[in-house]
Amino acid sequence: MRTLVALTLLTLLSACGSTAAGPTILAASSLTDVLPELASAHEQRGGEAGTLVFGGSSHLAAQVRDGVPADVFLTADPDLLPAGVEAVPFATNRLVLAVPAGNPAGVTGPDALAVPDLRVAVCAEPVPCGAATRRLGLPLAQDTEEASVRAVVSRLALGEADVGVVYATDVLSSDGVEAIADLPASVGYVAAALTPAGERFVGFLASDVAAGILDAHGFDR
């Protein structure tokens, strides 16, 4: 049986060592919905069950540097990988302009990100979704910077923000958020095997089975 672990438990894993029967997989929060399905498919094909740990990519990278036991790291920023580790591309994701369901603030386009009277939520710049947002060169009047894209989605779904920038896959998985415009930016996800135990799962991500699961969740290859 697979285990899902919150980021806040990573320090416990570090102190006590991993107790999972299989690999420990650290993954960007934007993979929260698709990774359990990928891990299940891998297990059904003879792979070991393991532990899935989700969080902001920069926070996960810091945990890896601090010695948290991990076998696989999945991130949208290859620069966060440890030196000398191979980055294996496996998916891409598009940025979209998103609003709470029903668009109560009447947002019409990206210009809304610079409107001081609107509550704007974006990812912090150290996070891949935040770095991609800044590359757009749009003026931002953000009221909040979040440590992960899931936190931005939560702000929008709860009505705590009027507009934000998230991934297209986040809109597909949230009933309380809708996209009103595609943005000309995307991110590419890479997988890194940190130990020999992680190599089999990284190899599985290149399979046709994994490609079908990623496509069903709105990811591109």
Residue 53 and residue 4: Cα distance in Å, rounded? 6
Based on DSSP, count helices (H) and strands (E) in the chain, helices before strands.
8, 9
CB 50 within 8 A of CB 3: yes
Closest to 143 measured CA to CA, from 171, 178, 115: 115
Q: Which residue has the tokens 């590419």?
A: 188
User: Tens digit of pLDDT for each residue in 139-178?
Assistant: 998 778 999 999 999 999 999 999 999 999 999 989 999 9
The helix-helix angle for 35-44 and 208-216 (nearest 10°) equals 150
Specify the 3-state DSSP secondary structure of 100. strand
Closest to 94 measured CA to CA, from 32, 186, 20, 14: 186
Give the domains, in start order, of the chain with CATH numbers: 3-91+188-216 (3.40.190.10), 93-186 (3.40.190.10)
DSSP state for residue 66 in the 8-state scheme: T
Residue 178 and residue 104: Cα distance in Å, rounded? 11
Burial (CB count within 10 angstroms: exposed 0-12, middle 13-18, buried 19+), residue 140? middle
What is the per-residue pLDDT for 10? Answer: 44
DSSP for 163-180, please give it: EEEEEHHHHHT-TTEEEE
What is the per-residue pLDDT for 45? Answer: 92
Q: Which secondary-structure segment (H or E) carries 99?
A: strand 88-100
Residues comprising the chain, all counted? 221
What is the per-residue pLDDT for 170? Answer: 93
What is the per-residue pLDDT for 49? Answer: 83
What is the per-residue pLDDT for 21? Answer: 62
Could you tell me the two tokens for 49? 């069950």
Backbone torsions φ then ψ of 121, nearest 5 degrees: -125, 130
Closest to 149 measured CA to CA, from 175, 131, 136: 131
Query: Which residues of the chain fall below pLDDT 70?
Result: 1-21
pTM of the model: 0.83
Could you tell me the two tokens for 104? 């109560």
What is the gyration radius of the CA atoms in the chain, in angstroms?
17
User: Tens digit of pLDDT for each residue in 2-14?
Assistant: 454 544 444 334 4
Q: Which residue has the tokens 């990573």?
A: 10
